[in-house]
Structure 1
């Protein structure tokens, strides 16, 4: 059942990250979910490093790190995906 929660959380975090980032990200939904999962793991790792991964009540700081991780991973992943697909953006 843990893998199902990872997919759900990854999807939600990936969609939140896409909503936060300016412009349109041209990555498919499955890749958004994968990037969200990676961002969640990254956020949990940072929260563990600073000692806020397990608190009483809701772990707001850990969730904030998860969102920040997802935003970073989606932003970097979108550029990498565009580069791999040959759809480099013109500025």
Structure 2
């Protein structure tokens, strides 16, 4: 259980960081919110990919699920920024 939580935090930080990298400008959000939105993006992205029938039968890293997680996390960051009124610099 503890290992699952630690893994989710690490994956969330990676996915959230990648999502912030692909977004234009400077996002004015904390590291904690980046991790939370990365965890949510990863979970939602993986769920969406599995709903379309993708299975990683060959093992290894599921790159399509990672890409979907980054896209969903970027969308969540955009929604968060629009809701809080924080604007980044371009």
What interval of TM-score do these two structures reach, taking the shorter chain for normalisation?
0.7 to 0.9
Aligned-pair Cα RMSD in Å? 1.7
Shift of 1:53: 4.1
Matches within 5 A, 1:24-35: 24-35=26-37
Unpaired segments of 5 or more residues in structure 1?
A: none
- CA distance in 2 between partners of 1:46 and 1:38 (Å): 12
The SS at the match of 1:24 is coil
Q: Deviations over 1:31-57 (max 9, x none)?
A: 010000000011011011001143313
Shift of 1:70: 1.1
Figure out how many residues of one structure are paired with residues of the other and give that number.
85
Unpaired segments of 5 or more residues in structure 2?
A: none
The SS at the match of 2:25 is coil
The SS at the match of 2:26 is coil
Q: Determine the structure 2 residue equivalent to 1:76.
A: 79
Answer 1 or 2: higher relative contact order, Cα 8 Å, separation at least 6: 2
Q: Determine the structure 2 residue equivalent to 1:64.
A: 67
- CA distance in 1 between partners of 2:27 and 2:87 (Å): 12
Evaluate the alpha carbon distance shift between residue 88 and residue 66 of structure 1 in structure 2; reply closer, same or farther with a 3 A threshold.
closer
